[in-house]
Amino acid sequence: MSGLALLDHIDALPSLQRVDCVSDIHLHAQDPATAAAWHAYLAAAPFDALCILGDLFEIWVGDDVLTADPAIDPEIAFMQHAVESLAALARRRPVFVMHGNRDFLLGQDFVAASGARLLADPAVLAFDARRWLLSHGDAWCVADRDYQAFRAQVRGAAWQTAFLAQPLADRLAQARALRQRSQQHQAAQRQAGVAPADVDADTAARAVAAAGAAGLVHGHTHRPGVHRLGAKGHRVVLSDWDADAQPPRLQVLNLDRQGGWQVRPLPCPALV
């Protein structure tokens, strides 16, 4: 969104020994199990800082949801509660949030209410001698031309101004319809054996080199894994979160000050 101050560099203070990265939580009112896992993770806060690399919310139709009457729609009450939980964490730990392809309308009122800092995409995390490039990842899925055209449209000021001028209830209805079409498209692709779009490895490698980073962390593709990046680096792709999946997908990347890193699954509250 235009006019937002986006942080493109994080210098990890000496007091920070562990930084966690997550992506694609996709919080929404119809998935209480994932929301419960998320809130349990925030309450425990087993990290010194948290970086959320896009799509914290499944839909975000404008910051006016923060002050809307929660009786209008269950999704409004759900999002308000989610922001309150994030604010409670931000009073204890630094929290950084990056726009995703679902919640790119997070704005200044969200920043004020949550206490989080908004990250540019990409952004650099400097953790002692090691530099990590952080991204949501969708901008690098260059082969998906239909998506890139859609992304350019909805990230534009004209589209956002026109969309935000509509009544909140209409925006929620449009977002739900768009989500349903996306789910149907993904289901059709799986049925046809078509793999989800992936980032272009060369494009990502050039971005990492330009940033002087040794590693890359991103989400978006729902294709979790670790890939070699040059002679010594790695491209770490985070999973989406789904507590109802078998097994549950609740993946976190732990980074430590000594340069170590580990991708690990969180326990699902329903199973412990």
The Cβ of residue 113 has, within 10 Å, a number of other Cβ atoms equal to 17
Banded pLDDT at 207 (limits 50, 70, 90): very high
Mean pLDDT over 168-196 rounds to 82
User: Is the pLDDT at 259 greater than 60, yes or no?
Assistant: yes
The total of structural domains in the chain comes to 1
Q: How far is CA 113 from CA 144, 221, 229, in A?
A: 35, 29, 38
Mean pLDDT over 171-186 rounds to 85
pLDDT digits (tens, 9 = 90+) for 91-136: 999 999 999 999 999 999 999 999 999 999 999 999 877 899 999 9
262 forms beta bridges with 254
> Which segment of 51-60, 65-74, 228-237, 247-256 scores lowest on mean pLDDT?
228-237
pTM passes above 0.85: yes
Q: Domain residues for 172?
A: 7-271
The Cβ of residue 197 has, within 10 Å, a number of other Cβ atoms equal to 21
* Neighbour-count burial for 150-161, b at 16+ CB within 10 Å, e otherwise: ebeeebeeeebe
Classify residue 45: in a domain, yes or no: yes
Measured CA angle at 133 (ends 93, 34), to 5 deg: 50
- List % helix, strand, coil for the chain (3-state, nearest 5): 40, 25, 40
User: Is the pLDDT at 252 greater than 80, yes or no?
Assistant: yes
Classify residue 154: in a domain, yes or no: yes
Banded pLDDT at 270 (limits 50, 70, 90): low
Mean pLDDT over 244-260 rounds to 92
Classify residue 2: in a domain, yes or no: no
> Which segment of 26-30, 218-222, 231-235 scores lowest on mean pLDDT?
231-235
Residue-level pLDDT at 179: 83
Find, among 243, 242, 241, 238, the residue nearest to 253 by Cα: 238
The Cβ of residue 114 has, within 10 Å, a number of other Cβ atoms equal to 23
Classify residue 156: in a domain, yes or no: yes
pLDDT digits (tens, 9 = 90+) for 30-56: 999 999 999 999 999 999 999 999 999
Q: What is the CATH number of the domain that holds 209?
A: 3.60.21.10
Average pLDDT, the chain: 92
Classify residue 1: in a domain, yes or no: no
Percent of the chain with pLDDT strictly greater than 70: 97
Classify residue 158: in a domain, yes or no: yes
Banded pLDDT at 181 (limits 50, 70, 90): confident
Banded pLDDT at 1 (limits 50, 70, 90): low
Residue-level pLDDT at 82: 98
**Pairing, β 233-237 against β 7-11:** unpaired
